[in-house]
Amino acid sequence: MLDSPLFIPVILGTPRQGRQSEYVAKFIVEQLSARNGVETEFIDIRAIAIDTNDAGESLKDPQFSATMQRADGLIIVAPEYNHGYPGLLKHVLDTCLKEYIHKAVGLCGVSAGPFGGTRVIQNLLPVMRELGLVTIFSDLNFANVQTLFDESGNLIDKPTYIRRLERFMQELIWMSTVLRYGRTQVSLDKKQEESAKIHHANKPCPEMAARMGTDVMDSVLQISQSCETNAVEASFLA
C-alpha cells in the first residue's frame, strides 16, 4: 500500500452559478494529474445529492464517503463569501468524520478582491481541526480571480501559479505520505501499547564495565518495565 500512488481529490466548495472557483479547481486537478505518484479526482459539491432537513453523518452520501475514505489527502477550493465559506461546503463536509482522521488537507482561497480568500482560509482552519484533518502550512490564494482566466477558463499567467502550486503540492504530498505511513504502520491499539511497555533491552553496558572492570563487558543489562506499576527493574545477565 505504501508503494501505491497517493490519492488526493480536489473539492470545489461552492454551488454558485457563474463561479470562477471552478476554473481554479480544474487548474489544480490538471496539474495534479500530471504528477507521478499522485492520483486525483474532481469533486463538485453541487453534484452531491444532500438534504437540508437534517445535518451531519445522518446525511452521509455513500460515494462521497467512499472517496474520502480512500483519500490520502485533500485540497479544498473555497471562495470567500462575506468573509466566510459557502454554507453548502460545510454541510457536505459535516456528513463525514472518521473518513478524514489523520489525513492532510491543503486550502485554496479564491476571491474577487485583493486578498485571495485569506479570510475564508482562516475561517476554515478550526473546522479542519475539528474534523480530524491536518492542515499544511502552505496555502494557495487566487486574488482578483475575475482577471486571471480567459473566456475559455484558461489561466492567463500560468507559469506564476504553477510555481505557487509547486510549493503547496510539495508540502501536501510530504504530509500525505507521512500520515499514510502513520495510519498504516503505527498502531495505538491498547494491547500493543501495553505490550510495548514491557520491553527488554539486552545490550552491552560499557558504562558499568568502566566502573566495575573489564569482565563486565561480557555482561548485558536487562531492563524491564511493568505495565501495571510502571516500575523499572534492571539486572545483569552474564
The pLDDT tens digits of the residues spanning 48-72 come to 999 999 999 999 999 999 999 999 9
CA-derived radius of gyration, the chain = 25
Does residue 27 contact residue 164 with C-beta atoms inside 8 Å? no
Distance CA 113, CA 124 (A): 18
Q: What is the pTM of this model?
A: 0.79
The reported pLDDT for the residue numbered 229 is 53
Distance CA 10, CA 70 (A): 13
What residue ranges define each of the domains in the chain, with the CATH number in brackets?
A: 6-185 (3.40.50.360), 190-237 (no CATH)
The reported pLDDT for the residue numbered 41 is 98
pLDDT digits (tens, 9 = 90+) for 173-200: 999 999 999 999 998 776 555 554 444 4
